């Protein structure tokens, strides 16, 4: 019975992730792609050191000589594949985290739990690593350091998620003595201090060329943040709605009519 | 008085019981790993490391990798 509930929530989480991925794809196509195109235009304007193909294997060839995948495919089908798979994968992970969180993080129903969880996930999975290692458009970044940058980025992401989980457990432990409010404040403060220490001790990466336009970099990074905000916000709302309908089937249909919610 | 007890207010949230950890664990382990493999292929394959040789996967998800925040190249 409980195992079936977990399975049902997992399936719903992946569907919610797919739906949120579609919303994020719209934002990515209309807000993000123009910036990618501008950056690639700049990259092609001076093709000297920046090889666009891959890291090292054919270090001689830029992507304009031999295109493996055309730009029009990259910006449509390729973009859709990446974002939808990302959405489904994080939808599944969020659903599993939701199964753990439900009924354990305070008196929240399924919808509030899902939105709270996805908001925290946006911060821990994306915003915290992003503030240390911000996203870069094409033409920014030295292909020779891709290994180091990938390692540091994933390290920051894993560290941030583990710290967020630790802060949640700390808050739960402090709640009986400090009360919910002060326990939450203390846990968030502990998280902020730990993240600050990680920021201070992890190496800085800045490979933005001197002549790269600051406004384009800003717009690119802002559009990347918009994509993630829409993705995680949508995921939280969709997962919460589907979970509420699964776990509390009597209450939901009566609510849109403005009727009093059914008992418990 | 009796009516007060019978009528739940709108501020009464529906709080479901926590699911037992034993029921979640097998799903979390198996699907957690599966989802992380999916993320690896979107985020890092044929960039820092490669399971498959070539640049097809990298080039296909190129734009998504840039816009989702992964170091691309």
Q: What is the per-residue pLDDT across B9-65, written as a single tens digit (0 to 9) for each?
A: 555 678 888 999 999 999 999 999 999 999 999 998 888 788 888 888 899 999 999
* Rounded Cα distance, A149 and A153, in Å: 6
Q: Which residues of B touch A32 (CB under 8 A)?
A: 63, 67
Is the Cβ pair B62, A69 closer than 8 Å? yes
* Rounded Cα distance, A146 and A264, in Å: 53
**Residue indicated by tokens 């037992």:** B20
A157, A142 Cβ separation under 8 angstroms:
no
List Cα–Cα distances, A243 to A19, A90, B29, in angstroms: 15, 16, 21
Q: Which residues of A touch B8 (CB under 8 A)?
A: 260-264
Q: Which residues of B touch A114 (CB under 8 A)?
A: none
* Rounded Cα distance, A111 and A240, in Å: 4
Q: How far is A79 from chain B (nearest CA, A)?
A: 5
Is the Cβ pair A261, B36 closer than 8 Å? no
Q: What is the per-residue pLDDT across A157-208, written as a single tens digit (0 to 9) for each?
A: 999 999 999 999 999 999 999 999 999 999 999 999 999 999 999 999 989 9
pLDDT score, position A64: 46
Tell me the angle at which helices A180-201 and A146-178 cross, rounded to the nearest 10 degrees. 160
Higher pLDDT: A42 or B2? It is A42
Tell me the angle at which helices A79-101 and A110-121 cross, rounded to the nearest 10 degrees. 120
Is the Cβ pair A150, B64 closer than 8 Å? no
* Rounded Cα distance, B44 and A103, in Å: 35
- The shortest CB-CB distance from B39 to any of A6, A89, A104 is to A89
* Rounded Cα distance, A169 and A250, in Å: 32
Is the Cβ pair A135, B69 closer than 8 Å? yes
Name the burial class of residue A201, with classes exposed (0-12), middle (13-18) and buried (19+) by CB atoms within 10 angstroms of its CB.
exposed
Write down the domain spans for chain B. 21-73
- The shortest CB-CB distance from B13 to any of A73, A109, A130 is to A109
pLDDT score, position A48: 53
pLDDT at position B7 over 60: no
Q: What is the per-residue pLDDT across A220-256, written as a single tens digit (0 to 9) for each?
A: 999 999 999 999 999 999 999 999 999 988 765 555 5
Give the pTM. Answer: 0.86
* Rounded Cα distance, B21 and A6, in Å: 10
pLDDT score, position A219: 95
Q: Which residue of A has its CA nearest to B50?
A: A55
Q: What is the per-residue pLDDT across A68-122, written as a single tens digit (0 to 9) for each?
A: 888 888 989 999 999 999 999 999 999 999 999 999 998 899 999 999 999 999 9
Q: What is the per-residue pLDDT across A25-72, written as a single tens digit (0 to 9) for each?
A: 999 999 999 999 999 998 888 765 544 444 444 444 444 446 788 888
Q: Mean pLDDT throughout A10-28?
A: 96
* Rounded Cα distance, B73 and A143, in Å: 5
pLDDT score, position A55: 43
Q: Which of B39, B67, B57 is nearest to A54 (CA)?
A: B57
pLDDT score, position A65: 47
Q: Which residues of A touch B63 (CB under 8 A)?
A: 28, 32-33, 36, 74-75, 78-79, 82
pLDDT at position B2 over 80: no
């Amino acid at each position: 019975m409980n195992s079936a509930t977990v399975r049902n929530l997992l399936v719903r989480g992946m569907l919610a992730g797919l739906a949120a991925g579609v919303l994020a794809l719209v934002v990515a196509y209309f807000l993000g792609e123009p910036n990618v195109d501008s950056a690639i235009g700049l990259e092609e304007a001076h093709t000297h050191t920046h090889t666009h193909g891959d890291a090292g294997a054919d270090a001689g060839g830029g992507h304009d000589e031999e295109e493996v995948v055309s730009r029009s495919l990259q910006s449509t089908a390729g973009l859709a594949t990446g974002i939808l798979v990302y959405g489904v994968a994080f939808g599944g992970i969020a659903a599993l985290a939701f199964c753990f969180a439900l009924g354990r993080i305070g008196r929240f129903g399924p919808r509030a739990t899902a939105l709270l969880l996805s908001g925290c996930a946006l911060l821990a999975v994306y915003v915290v690593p992003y503030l240390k290692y911000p996203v870069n458009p094409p033409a920014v970044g030295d292909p020779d350091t891709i290994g180091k940058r990938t390692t540091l980025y994933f390290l920051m992401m894993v560290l941030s998620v583990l710290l967020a989980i630790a802060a949640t457990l700390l808050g739960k432990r402090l709640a009986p003595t400090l009360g919910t409010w002060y326990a939450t404040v203390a846990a968030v403060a502990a998280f902020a201090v730990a993240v600050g220490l990680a920021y201070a001790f992890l190496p800085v990466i800045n490979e933005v060329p001197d002549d790269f336009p600051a406004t384009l970099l800003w717009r690119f990074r802002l559009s990347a943040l918009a994509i993630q905000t829409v993705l995680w916000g949508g995921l939280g709302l969709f997962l919460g709605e589907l979970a509420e309908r699964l776990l509390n089937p009597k209450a939901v249909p009566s609510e849109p009519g403005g009727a009093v919610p059914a008992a418990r | 008085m009796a009516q007060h007890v019978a009528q739940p207010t709108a501020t009464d949230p529906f709080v479901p019981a926590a699911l037992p950890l034993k029921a979640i664990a097998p799903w979390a382990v198996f699907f957690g790993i599966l989802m992380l493999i999916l993320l690896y292929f979107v985020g890092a394959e044929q960039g820092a490391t490669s399971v498959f040789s070539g640049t097809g996967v990298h080039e296909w998800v190129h734009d998504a990798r840039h816009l989702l925040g992964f170091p691309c190249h």
